Amino acid sequence: MKIIDTYKAGRYVSLILSEKLPFKPFNKVSVDGLIYTAVLVYEAKNEIAIIYDGKSDFKGKEISFLLE
């Protein structure tokens, strides 16, 4: 699954995904080998937020979902 767009909202970055969220439990995501805490964006089928204060652009990157 790929990240097709992003936007910043305070200390969060919202990741717009190419597909719906997976139907499995997860609490973290991995992008480029780095792990981030995932926060659900309610009323969104293909969007997840991460806590991130950096300047990286996640567009076009692969994302995977983890349960830790």
User: Which pLDDT band holds residue 43 (cuts at 50, 70, 90)?
Assistant: confident
pTM of the model: 0.90
pLDDT at 54: 85
The string of pLDDT tens digits covering residues 12-29 is 999 999 999 999 999 999
Strand intervals (E) in 1-68: 3-9, 12-17, 28-31, 34-40, 47-51, 63-66
Q: Average per-residue pLDDT in the chain?
A: 94
Closest CA to 57 of 17, 1, 7, 2: 7
